[in-house]
Structure 1
Amino acid sequence: MTAPMPATGEKAAAPAGAAGPEVDNPGSPILAGFVGSLFMFIGSLGVGWLAPVSELRRVPLFIWMRAEAVGVALSIVLLAVGGMLLVRAWLRLGQRVRVWGPRARRATLTAIGAWSLPMMFSVPLFSRDVYAYIGQGRLMVEGFNPYRNGISALSNYFQLGADKMWTEAPVPYGQLFLWIEQFVVWSTNVHPEASVMLFRLVALAGVVLCVIYVPKLAELHGVNPHRALWLTAANPLFLTNFIASVHNDSLMIGLALAGLYYAATRRVVRGIVLVTLSIAVKPITIVFLPFIGLLWAGRDAGWLRKIGFWALTAGLSLALLVLMSLVNGFGFGWINGLSAPGSISIWYAPVGLIGMVVGSLGSAFGLDGALLSAVVANAGKLLAVGIAGWLILKGDYDRLMRRLTLAFAAVVLLSPIIQSWYVVWLIPLFAVTGIRNDWQVKALYFVVSFFIIYANSDQLEVFPYLQTGDVGFALLLARVAAAVTGVLFALYLVFWDPRTRSLFRKAGDPVVERPVI
């Protein structure tokens, strides 16, 4: 995919006779991160998402932490502080590395394990999607087609704990993940906690794939594999979204990265199979296929050869998807479900914000504000398709992976809604093609901090009966408390912490990696 190149200024290997260890006391940030993750685990007992039928709701500790104001307040503070402690630990671990060599890799792997462990047993945080997975699995176990039926087709579906948006929404997931959902629900007999744990193991498998293939892809690009691993898999945003939140995106991106690696090392058919399996989890990674076709065509391929290998790549992937559709009998119904995630907007997404402003102004002048917002959203999608198409057709062969990364980023960032786990799709791709130790890595620090704070305050389960007046006041108060706690901690990291403020305010070290741009 990219010829190896020297990583100028990178601390990749210790020079002969160099004094000092590769990593200076990594145990301290690793322990601090473990404490932060443990705080998040404890906080999840009070404000994490439980299914209404969960037996845990009858456990005295859970009752106190979820139904008493003091328990809820403690849970909120622990969750917010724990998330930011994890951010600080990640930053400090990177600072402790003198040379990104084998010992740095060992320290990073230890951190990933230690920080993941409490999250593996936490109540689902920041998202209720895992309960939608359970509902969709139950649909199949009971003989329904999940591409035609929302979970409202089930008796007592509201007891499953899924967000109400899934009541009538078609499933946007591919055939492979449908089988996983069906197996999990069948094997646990719809037991919520057992199902969550099995889905967590599926997410963990995706994390393991990322741990294996991020360094391999980085090496192909002359990028330090150990630093790429730290930027990606030890990243708090990565761990919280894939393990604490139990998102299937973990398996999607892990399979896609594995497929890219094999395609880049001339094992293209294996790569296409793995990327197709990724598409069969969430179809967004279909964006990868044209670039794999270019890899297969080779460096000096003409247009006729490129078109031929694009067709061959698409044909192999489509044949595998059709085969899976024939086996499960559900066809390609996920195509209808793809519109569901993009049907709403969010204020921090550029296209979403513009759509909100244009829609509000239009409504003020008596126009159809919803229609104007939809026009902006569709314009963003068209622009994303145009950028992706340009990057497919134009650019150097040696920069194929970076071109893919930018095309995928355009699809994500020009959407009217950007979820935190969408951002996590991009981090491994940018890391393996090079994130410089200047404004680029500082931008990543800010993005991680922002989304950790936002997640801590956005998705909290707070019982409305804690307030006798406005039932929404308890939730609003909880969100504000979590946001203020997180923002104060972030301000401390940026302006007052003697260890971390240099990461945000000073020029820092020389360039660590030369990105492929």
Structure 2
Amino acid sequence: MHTARNETVTLLSLWGALFVLYGVSLYFKCDSHFKLLLVAAFAFRLIGLGTLPTLSDDIYRFIWDGRLLAHGYNPFLYLPSEILATDIATQAGLTEALFQKLNSPHYYTVYPPLLQGWFVLSTTWGGLNELATAFWLRLPIVLGELGTCWWLYRLLNLTGKDEAATKRGVLLYALNPLVIVELTANIHYEGLTICFLLAGLYLYKKQKDFPSATFLGLAAGVKLLPLIFLPALIDQANWRKSLLYFSVVGGVFLLPFLFFFDPIIVENLSASLDLYFRRFEFNASWYYLLREFGTLILGYNPIATIGPFLALVAVSLILFFSWSRRIKLSLPERWLFALTAYLLCATTVHPWYVVPLIALSALSRFKFPLVWSVVLPLTYVAYGQVPYHENLWIVALEYLAVGGWMVWEVREKISSSKQQKKQ
């Protein structure tokens, strides 16, 4: 909680120690100490509940947006850099000190209205005290994590696993250091998204379509990413059912936008998302390879072309994993590979982006996301100098480890499946 991200040696040592404890906890019959380990997992999440994150500065945009909205100004309409020296900033308590902590002051906010509503409540209850505001911003994430473990337990029971395997699956997620640090400690709302997503999945399997669609709409309302999971839910034998289901998802997702309605919002939000794909780059895989080839041939960084191209590749792969009947995958596994394809095609992959994969891996036969969680903290080496600079050898090591393990697992499952058919 108190280690800065530029303290590389200390930071990586702490990450290493946490993952050793994680491995030991899972190795020695963790199911027999399930309640104790689950309590420990949430005790870790409560540590520093009212402290400021040291490994991420996203919180300051949450505070900026919340204060702006609390004073009646639509955060989707104003660039921080444009209003800093205006009366708007003065009225809302948007200071120069807060502005200097923003990581994207020249971009319109990309946080959906559902989150904006919580930002305004947190900044209202926390006032100008950033520590108090951090407490309120963290609270729904902690509650979401409780919900995630509950839904994981119920989903694993649905698959017919025995009690020991079910408890182990829950602890694979609950005790993972990357999950704890990146969600609760660093205040990232993937924790809330995962909870809603798993609730929607459980209710979908129980054939409770309306509440399932409602939860998936809420998941997309927190983070846009769950929208990539919708193609796998299309019932090709019953299009009317699918249309009704997606109508509910769309209604729940879009309803909060009505409170912020302004034609320019679509333009501003689209501009920020477009810049995300065309300018931002961090810890990418295929993109970095294409960038090197493109730069060698063209003489400049072709991100403006490669970004959209990889986005199209990602869409194609997502549809393939969602609809292909040639590959025998459960619904969580289809989601797992759809999200993996998206991340491998992305120009930016921050550590917390991978956390939903860890939840899905607990419901699947594939555990390569756990390997990814172990090597991801190495990306913090980039912040060991100012301005930050990535070590591409570390990035290569990360993706070779993850890709190698994934390929091995896929081959093992295919081989195992063929042997079962022969028998």
TM-score for both structures, normalised by structure 1:
0.67
CA distance in 2, matches of 1:196, 1:411: 30
Matched, 1:260 2:201: yes
Checking the alignment, whether the CA contact within 8 Å between 1:140 and 1:182 is kept in structure 2 is: yes
The 8 Å contact of residues 345 and 416 in structure 1, kept in 2 or not, is answered as: yes
Instruction: Tell me by how many angstroms 1:177 deviates.
Output: 0.5
Residues 190, 260 of structure 1: alpha-carbon distance in 2 compared, 3 angstrom cutoff:
farther
Distance in 2 of aligned mates of 1:361 and 1:262: 50
Distance in 1 (CA, whole Å) between partners of 2:262 and 2:25 is: 47
Of the candidates 337, 347, 352, which is equivalent to residue 287 of structure 2? 352
Alignment of 1:286-325 (within 5 A): 286-294=227-235, 302=237, 305=238, 307-325=239-257
1:326 equivalent among 249, 254, 258: 258
Label 1:114 to 1:355 Cα distance change in 2 as closer, same or farther (>3 A). same
1:101-155 C-alpha deviation (Å, 9 max, x unpaired): 4x34224303302332334354303210011111111221233222221223243
Identity of aligned residues (%): 20
Rg larger in 1 or in 2?
Answer: 1
Does the 8 Å contact 2:199/2:215 carry over to 1? yes
Do the aligned residues in 2 keep the contact of 1:392 with 1:403 (CA within 8 Å)?
yes
Number of equivalenced pairs = 385
Matches within 5 A, 1:472-483: 472=386
2:145 paired residue number: 207
- Cα distance between partner residues in 2 of 1:348 and 1:381: 16
Deviation at 1:292, TM superposition (A): 3.4
For 1:246-285, list aligned pairs within 5 A.
246-285=187-226
332, 344, 369: which one aligns with 1:413: 344
Alpha-carbon deviation of 1:412?
Answer: 2.0
Q: 1:264 to 1:110 in 2, by over 3 A?
A: same
Give, in whole Å, the separation in 2 of the partners of 1:340 and 1:221: 42
> Could you tell me which amino acid in structure 1 is paired with residue 297 of structure 2?
G
Indicate the structure whose relative CO is greater, using CA pairs within 8 Å and at least 6 residues apart. 1
Deviation at 1:231, TM superposition (A): 1.7
Whether the 8 Å CA contact 1:347–1:353 is kept in 2: the answer is no
Is 2:113–2:257's contact at 8 Å kept on the other side of the alignment?
yes
State which drifts further: 415-424 or 334-343: 334-343
The structural deviation recorded for 1:398 is 7.1
CA distance in 1, matches of 2:52, 2:351: 19
Contact 1:345-1:353 at 8 Å conserved across structures: no
| Matched residue type, 2:317 | I
Check 1:89–1:427 CA distance in 2 against 1; reply closer, same or farther (3 A cut).
same
Quick check: 2:216–2:226 contact (8 Å CA) kept in 1? yes
Backbone CA RMSD of aligned residues: 3.3
Distance across 2 between alignment mates of 1:446 and 1:320: 35
Cα deviation, residue 343, structure 1: 3.4
Q: Which amino acid aligns with 1:88?
A: V
Of residues 26, 29, 35 in structure 2, which corresponds to 1:106? 35
1:321-379 alpha-carbon deviations (Å, 9 max, x no partner):
34322234457644554334433454642222123303421344xxxx23x33322222
- Which sections of structure 1, spanning at least 5 residues, go unmatched? 1-40, 49-71, 295-300, 436-440, 463-471, 488-509
- Match for 2:361: what amino acid? F
TM-superposed CA distance for 1:78, in Å, is 4.3
Q: Which has more helix, going by share of residues?
A: 2
- The residue matched to 2:24 in structure 1 has which SS? helix
Structure 1 contact 125–459 (Cα < 8 Å) conserved: no
* Counterpart secondary structure, 2:362: helix
1:424 to 348, 355, 371: 355
8 Å contact kept, 2:310–2:345: yes
**Is the 2:80–2:99 Cα contact (8 Å) retained in structure 1?**
no
1:449 to 374, 377, 380: 374
Contact 2:280 2:347 in 1 (8 A): yes
1:10-21 correspondence to structure 2 within 5 Å: none
Matched, 1:188 2:161: no
Distance in 1 between the 2:148 and 2:199 partners?
A: 8
Quote the offset at 1:81 in angstroms: 2.4
What is the distance in 1 between the residues matched to 2:33 and 2:122? 37
Q: What amino acid is aligned across from residue 277 of structure 2 in structure 1?
A: G
C-alpha separation between the residues in 2 aligned to 1:96 and 1:104? 9
- Partner AA of 1:81 in structure 2: S
CA distance in 2, matches of 1:282, 1:330: 21
C-alpha separation between the residues in 2 aligned to 1:310 and 1:190? 46
Between the aligned partners of 2:117 and 2:278, the Cα distance in structure 1 is 26
1:117 corresponds in structure 2 to: 46
Match of 1:323, as an amino acid?
L
Match of 1:338 in 2: 273
| 2:296 is aligned with 1:361 | yes
- List aligned pairs for 1:4-83, cutoff 5 A: 41=1, 43-44=2-3, 47=4, 78-83=10-15
Q: Could you say if the C-alpha distance between residues 118 and 161 of structure 1 is closer, same or farther in structure 2, counting changes exceeding 3 Å?
A: farther
CA contact (8 A) 2:229 2:338 kept: no
TM-score of the two chains, using structure 2 as the length reference: 0.80
Q: Report SS of the residue matched to 2:233.
A: helix
